[in-house]
Amino acid sequence: MTRAFNENLKLALDTLAEHKLRSFLTVLGVVIGVGVIIIVGSLLAGFDQSVMEEISGYGADTAFVSRWPSGPRIGRMSKEERTRKPLTVEDGEAVLEECPAVKSVAVSLFPNRPATVRYKDEEVTGSDYRGTFPSFVEVYANAAMKYGRFFTEAENEHRQKVVVIGESISDALFGNLNPVGKDILVDGSTFMIIGVFQKPKGGFGGGGEEDRRVAVPYYTLHKIYPYAEEHGFRIQANPGQLDLAVDQVRDLLRRRRNVPYNAPDSFDITTSQQAMEQFHAIVGAVALVTVVLSSIGLLVGGVGVMNIMLVSVTERTREIGVRKAIGARRGDIMWQFLLEAMTLTGMGGLIGVLLFGGIAMLLPKLTGMSTAVPLWAAAAGLIVAISVGLIFGVWPAVKAARLDPVEALRYE
C-alpha cells in the first residue's frame, strides 16, 4: 500500500514538473482562496490579541457602568434608552459606600462636545476628555505614568487647572520632550501639564492604540462645563468578587433610579469578560464572511482543477490502457488521478500559505497593523486546498478508471 502510494505520488509530481505553468495557472484560484484565509486570519489574530490586551489593560475585577448600552448595536435606540436619566456623581459615591464587594470607584464626567488640545501652533483633535477623581489611577490598570504624576484630592477640591495627557498627545505637541510644567489649551481653557500617561499595550493598531486621554480634576471640569451631566464610572471589586459586586451595584442603582421590579435596567454594566465576548462575536461574523469570500476563489480553483484533470485523462488515455493491460486495477487508476489532483491543489495551498503568510508578517512593518499568522489558518488553508483536489478530482479519476483498456490502447 505504501509502495503504491509512493509511486502514485512520484507520478503526480513528475506530471506537475512537466507542466509547471499550466499547473500554476490551474491552481491560481486555490492560491488566492487560501491567501484570503491566511491574510484575514492573521489580521483577526493580531486584532484579537491587541484588543484582549486593551480590554485587560482596564484591570482585573473591574466593570464599567454607564447610561447607554455598550458594545456594537444594530438599529436605533429604543424610547426607553433615549429617555434614561443620566448617572450622577452621587450614584458613584453611593456604590462605594453601600456595596461591600466594591473596593474602589472612579467616576468620570464627560463634556458635551469633543475637545481640541493646542500648544502654540500644534493641535490634536478627538481627545478622550474627562473630569475624574484621583481614584482613577487605582481602578484603571492602564493609568501608569510616563512623566510626572496624577492630580491629588486637594487639587480636585480646589478646582485647580491641571491636566494629565496621553502619550500620543504629548508626542504630537512636544515630540520627545518632557512636557510637565507646560501650559496647554484644552477646548479654549488653559491647563498646566502635571503628568503624561504611558501608552497602554495592545489597542486597535500596531504597537498600541493612540493614547488621546486628557484627564482633569472632576470639579475643575464641572466648573468649566456646569451643564455637563454625562457620567460614567468604573468599579473595582475585591479580588474574586466581581460578580457579587456587579449584583450589588445593579440592585443599588435600580433602587436609586426607581426602576420597577419587572422593568429592565435603565443603565448598563459591562465587565471585561462581557466586552471580550462581544468582540469575539464580531470576530466570528467576520470569519464567516471570510469563509464565504475564500470559498469563491476555491470554487473557481476547483473547477479549473477538474477541467485540467479531464484534459490530462484524455492526453494520457494510451498510458491508462498500458497500465491496465499490465495489471493495474480500477482502484489504482482512480487513486493515481485523485492523488495527482490533491497534489496539485496541495501545492497551490502551500504556495498560498508561504506567499501570503510572508505578506502577513511584513504588514506590521509596512503599515503598522498588528498581525499574527495563526497555526489554525495555515492548517485550514492546506486542508481545504487538498480537499478541493479530492472533491473536484473525483469525476476525472472515475472517468479514467472506467476506460476500456482495449479502446484506450487504440486511442491516437
What are the pLDDT digits (tens) for 97-144?
999 999 999 999 999 777 899 999 999 998 899 999 999 998 988 888
Average pLDDT over residues 46-53: 70
Q: Nearest CA to 66 among 252, 228, 232? A: 232
The DSSP secondary structure of 24-73, one letter per residue, reads HHHTHHHHHHHHHHHHHHHHHHHHHHHHHHHHHTT-TTEEEEESSPPS--
Model confidence at 207, pLDDT cuts 50, 70, 90, reads very low
Residue 298: predicted pLDDT:
76
Q: Each residue of 344-379: pLDDT tens digit?
A: 888 888 888 888 888 888 877 776 667 777 777 788
How many CB atoms lie under 10 A from the CB of residue 143? 22
Q: Which three cell numbers stand for residue 390?
A: 479530492
Portion of the chain with pLDDT greater than 90, in percent = 34
Closest CA to 214 of 189, 196, 230: 196
Query: Which residue has cell 453611593?
Result: 94
Cβ partners under 8 Å of residue 61, min gap 6 = 103, 236, 237, 238, 239, 240, 241, 242, 245
Question: What does DSSP say about strands 128-132 and 213-217: parallel, antiparallel, or unpaired?
Answer: parallel
In sequence order, what are the beta bridge partners of 193?
163
Q: Give the max Cα distance, the chain.
A: 103
**What percentage of the chain reaches a pLDDT higher than 70?**
84
Amino acid of residue 72: P
**φ and ψ at 122, to 5 degrees?**
-100, 145
Confidence (pLDDT) at 410 = 64
**Residue length, the chain?**
412
Mean pLDDT of 32-48: 79
d(C-alpha 4, C-alpha 323), whole Å: 13
Backbone angles phi and psi of 253, in degrees to 5: -65, -35
User: Is a pLDDT exceeding 70 seen at residue 257?
Assistant: yes
Q: What is the mean pLDDT of residues 224-235?
A: 92
Q: Which of 1-15, 59-73, 346-360, 398-412 has the highest mean pLDDT?
A: 346-360
pTM of this structure: 0.63
SS3 of 97, please? helix
Average pLDDT, the chain: 82
**Looking at per-residue confidence, does 55 or 182 come out higher?**
182
The predicted structure's pLDDT at residue 206: 37
Q: How many angstroms separate the CA atoms of 109 and 233, rounded?
A: 9
